[in-house]
Amino acid sequence: MINPIYSPAADRYENGMKYRRCGRSGILLPEISLGLWHNFGDVNTLANSMEMAHYAFDNGIVHFDLANNYGPSYGSAEETFGIIMKKSFLPYRDELFISSKAGYDMWPGPYGNWGSRKYLMASLDQSLKRMNLDYVDLFYSHRYDPETPLEETLQALVDIVRQGKALYVGISRWPKEAAQTAYEYLAAHDVPCLIYQGKYNIFDREPEEEGILKHAKENGAGFIGFSPLAQGLLTDRYLNGIPAGSRIAHNTSLSKDELTEKRIAQISKLDEMAKKRGQTLAEMALSWILKDDFVTSVIVGASSVAQLQKNLKAIHGPAFTPEELAEIDRIVL
Ligand SMILES: NC(=O)c1ccc[n+]([C@@H]2O[C@H](COP(=O)([O-])OP(=O)(O)OC[C@H]3O[C@@H](n4cnc5c(N)ncnc54)[C@H](OP(=O)(O)O)[C@@H]3O)[C@@H](O)[C@H]2O)c1
């Protein structure tokens, strides 16, 4: 049987999603965005990837976060998204905010990694082809390159916008000092940095501790947090061992060495706390990030629609009392 043509939920903007302004810009982003790092590669089933993308859009998740090397294999998450674009999302392109990045290892040789103009320009051209897009809404330098002059990387971002291949640019995982140069350079060239992307969750507080959150805001940029569930550790996934099919079982980006006794004890305590708040641990972990008005959005990953469905509830979670916040700190710090 032929699959019916996708038709998005008519109430997709009345389904409870909330949107926040991204720094000093015209852009609003959903509080929860969907990341395609895992579970959209050519090792995954297209049907599941499609179902998750459809569910996301049906529920007001209009921001999809990609990068050149998401998969595995490299490039295949963008290819999967390209299929979804062609089959489902093309009529809704103007409702979507799609990002990609370059900065990590992508192809062999000296031009397939880091921050040269040569790499960024070529990579974005490849990404657009894979995703069946004329432009991305947001293009990131995926990481700081200590060897390439920052001006070269930043000018490439400016020129990418001038060429119409991206509407906005952002930086991911740049140290604070280099981020300052980026904010200043990009603003001076009339392509202000839209957003800073960094890892942020209950266990990993670097953006707060290093002042990255405050710094982004002062410079008119938004902040979007990745791995908000610590790749699944901040959920009930590993409370009773390592389930088959889980990210630790796959042993790609999350190792079982992370699951120390101390960590498991912390997760159990956080899980109990979440229950007292009437939330799952995953919901509480997301609400914890969203409590902060320095944060524009969190990018969740998911391996099923059921996970995504649960995670969306975080948007309507109860506010934290000062005692609850102190208790979380006591458990993990
Ligand atoms: N800029 C960067 O350098 C960078 C780096 C990493 C990620 N990112 C972006 O951030 C996105 C999210 O990162 P992430 O995938 O690490 O995020 P995450 O939300 O911390 O982890 C997602 C994983 O947690 C588990 N999970 C999610 N919801 C669950 C639930 N309700 N119950 C139980 N388990 C649940 C699933 O693991 P299972 O697979 O085990 O089911 C899922 O694959 C990426 O897709 C990417 O777009 C950016």
Q: Where are the domains of the chain?
A: 19-231+283-318
pLDDT over 80 at 131, yes or no: yes
Task: Tell whether the model's pLDDT for residue 277 goes beyond 80.
Answer: yes
Q: Does ligand 1 have an atom closer than 6 angstroms to the CB of 232?
A: yes
Binding site membership of 229 for ligand 1 (Cβ less than 6 Å): yes
pLDDT at 2 over 90: no
CA-proximal residue: ligand 1, atom 48 (nearest): 226
Q: Is the predicted pLDDT of residue 307 greater than 80, yes or no?
A: yes
The answer, yes or no, to whether residue 43 has pLDDT greater than 80, is yes
pLDDT confidence band for 1 (50 / 70 / 90): confident
Q: What is the band of 55 on the pLDDT scale with cuts at 50, 70, 90?
A: very high
Beta carbon of 35 within 6 Å of any ligand 1 atom: yes
| Whole-number average pLDDT of the chain | 97
**Ligand 1 atom at minimum distance from 232 CA:** 24
Mean pLDDT within 271-280: 98
Residue minimizing CA distance to atom 1 of ligand 1: 172
Per-residue pLDDT tens digits for 152-200: 999 999 999 999 999 999 999 999 999 999 999 999 999 999 999 999 9
| pLDDT average, residue stretch 2-26 | 95
Establish whether residue 33 lines the binding site of ligand 1, counting it when its CB lies within 6 angstroms of any ligand atom.
Answer: no
Mean pLDDT over 76-82 rounds to 98
Angstrom distance (rounded) from CA 235 to CA 261: 16
Q: What pLDDT score does 141 carry? A: 98
> Which distant-in-sequence residues (6+ apart) come within 8 Å of 139 by Cβ?
99, 100, 101, 102, 124, 157, 160, 165, 166, 168, 169, 170
CATH domain 19-231+283-318 topology: TIM Barrel (3.20.20)
Asked if pLDDT for residue 3 goes beyond 90, the answer is no
Cβ(301) to ligand 1 under 6 A? yes
Q: What would the mean pLDDT of 210-222 be, rounded to a whole number? A: 98
* CA angle, residues 38, 128, 51, in degrees to nearest 5: 40
Ligand 1 atom with least separation from CA of 101: 1
Neighbours of 115 (CB within 10 A): 23
Q: Is 207 in the pocket of ligand 1 (CB under 6 A)?
A: no
**Pocket perturbation via mutation, ligand 1, pick of 31, 38, 76, 242 by most ligand atoms within 8 A of CB:** 38
Q: Is the CB of 44 under 6 A from ligand 1?
A: no
Atom 38, ligand 1: residue with shortest CA distance: 246
Closest to 153 measured CA to CA, from 201, 196, 117, 194: 117
User: If you measure from the C-alpha of residue 299 to the centroid of ligand 1, how many angstroms do you get, rounded to a whole number?
Assistant: 8
Tokens of 41: 């590669």
Nearest ligand 1 atom to the CA of 36 is 45
Extract the tokens encoding 245. 């099919």
pLDDT, tens digit (0-9, with 9 covering 90-100), for 62-78: 999 999 999 999 999 99
| Ligand 1 and 247: CB distance under 6 A | yes
In the predicted model, is pLDDT for residue 271 greater than 90?
A: yes
Q: Whose CA is nearest to atom 19 of ligand 1?
A: 300
In this predicted structure, the answer to whether residue 286 has a pLDDT above a threshold of 80 is yes
Quick one: angle between helices 76-84 and 117-131, nearest 10? 40
Contact between residue 271 and residue 239 where contact means Cβ atoms under 8 Å apart = yes
Mean pLDDT over 137-149 rounds to: 98
Long-range contacts of 262-265 (CB under 8 A, 24+ apart): 263/233, 264/238, 264/239
> Is the bond preceding residue 72 a cis peptide, omega within 30 degrees?
yes
**pLDDT exceeding 70 applies to what percent of the chain?**
100
What's residue 136's pLDDT? 99
Does the pLDDT value for residue 259 go beyond 80? yes
- Residue 202 contacts residue 270 (beta carbons within 8 Å): yes
Find out whether the beta carbon of 271 lies less than 6 Å from any atom of ligand 1.
no
pLDDT mean over 14-24? 97
Residue 172 confidence (pLDDT): 98
- Tell me, using a 6 A CB cutoff, whether residue 41 lines ligand 1: no
Flag whether pLDDT at 322 surpasses 90.
yes
Q: What pTM was estimated for this model as a whole? A: 0.98
* Whole-number pLDDT of residue 310: 97
Please say whether the beta carbons of 70 and 40 come within 8 A.
yes
Q: Can you tell me which residue has the tokens 């940095």?
A: 193
| Ligand 1 in reach of 82 Cβ (< 6 A) | no
Give the mean model confidence (pLDDT) for residues 51-72: 98
